[in-house]
Amino acid sequence: MQKFTMILLIICFPLILKAQTAEEIIKKAEDSIKGDSAFGEIEMTVETADFTRQLVMESWWVGNEKALIVIKSPRREAGNKTLKIKNEMWNYLKNTETTIKIPPSMMLQSWNGSDFTNDDLVRESNLNDDYTQKIVGEKEIDGVLCWKIELLPRPNAPVVWGKLDYFVRKVDYLPSRVDYYSEKGELMRYMVFSDIKTFGNRKMPAVWKMFNNVKKSNSTTFKVLDMKFDIKINNKIFSFQELERGN
């Protein structure tokens, strides 16, 4: 009997090691596209029924606490910046040389005319703090099997979504799709990750596309042009002096 138990443990031990929680899976997915620190060049394309608008920006961030986004083109918007420190956010408009702090009443408004809100930029990394997480199934997306993880708001969490469904690829732990539901259970928007590329020694989706499920002709695509992870970033980059410095 002892021998049989030992054989059973040897067979099952690798499976025990691979067992993981929803929180661990999502952390791996989030870490794959963020890192402890990063600098990136990103192209954003906003599409509506009436127009298509494109801009290129550079961004620096450290963990979930600090971020600076600087628009490089088109010329009329070049030099506009967004600074995030913890849960606070400021916009700098170069043409008028003014800095505006985003009040709580404006956090759900569109960021730069996109399908992302100001709140997305501030809170998107706080999934573990704001939501309980549970593996509820599997789904094949673009031929790749994914975990389906349900995120429900914690009591008194400062979030606007009634539920998130987060799909993570089982083969490499990369995010595949996130569905955003209202408190009434309506699918409001969904983000699809695609075009897996390698930046440095890190593999990640190079295209993130947010689809607006209310205004179905609207979408916003982030295309990563270049990304450097886990680099040393001078803390002065996240200062008001840098925010208001002309480029």
CATH number at residue 214: 2.50.20.10
pLDDT of residue 14: 45
The SS3 call for residue 119 is helix
The two structure tokens encoding residue 213: 């499920």
pLDDT of residue 246: 65
Domain membership flag for residue 6? no
Token pair 């599409």 is found at 47
pLDDT of residue 12: 47
Domain that holds residue 63: 21-243
Domain membership flag for residue 37? yes
Residue 88 vs residue 206, higher pLDDT: 206
- The number of domains in the chain is 1
Domain membership flag for residue 193? yes
CA 229 to chain centre: 15
Is residue 98 predicted with pLDDT exceeding 80? yes
Token pair 């996109």 is found at 114
Torsion sign over Cα 156, 159, 163, 168 = negative
227, 241 contact by CB (below 8 A): no
Token pair 């963020």 is found at 34
Is residue 236 predicted with pLDDT exceeding 70? yes
Is residue 229 predicted with pLDDT exceeding 60? yes
pLDDT of residue 198: 95
Residues 6+ apart with CB under 8 A from 97: 244
pLDDT of residue 122: 66
196, 174 contact by CB (below 8 A): yes
pLDDT of residue 13: 45
Is residue 217 predicted with pLDDT exceeding 60? yes
Is residue 197 predicted with pLDDT exceeding 50? yes
pTM here is: 0.86
208, 115 contact by CB (below 8 A): no
Confidence of residue 107 (pLDDT cuts 50, 70, 90): confident
Torsion sign over Cα 19, 128, 26, 61 = negative
Domain membership flag for residue 8? no
Q: Calculate mean pLDDT across residues 79-98.
A: 92
How far is 184 from 213, CA to CA, in rounded Å?
14
pLDDT of residue 94: 92
Is residue 57 predicted with pLDDT exceeding 70? yes
Domain membership flag for residue 126? yes
Domain membership flag for residue 80? yes
Confidence of residue 141 (pLDDT cuts 50, 70, 90): very high
Torsion sign over Cα 69, 72, 74, 78 = positive
Is residue 189 predicted with pLDDT exceeding 80? yes
How far is 221 from 193, CA to CA, in rounded Å?
10
Three-state SS across 85-120?
ECCEEEEEECCCCEEEECCHHHCCCECCCCCCEHHH
Domain membership flag for residue 16? no
pLDDT of residue 178: 97
Helix (H) or strand (E) holding 31: helix 22-34
Is residue 16 predicted with pLDDT exceeding 50? no
- Torsion, Cα 230 111 84 153, to 10 degrees, reads -90
Is residue 128 predicted with pLDDT exceeding 60? yes
Domain membership flag for residue 72? yes
Is residue 95 predicted with pLDDT exceeding 70? yes
67, 81 contact by CB (below 8 A): no
How far is 217 from 165, CA to CA, in rounded Å?
22
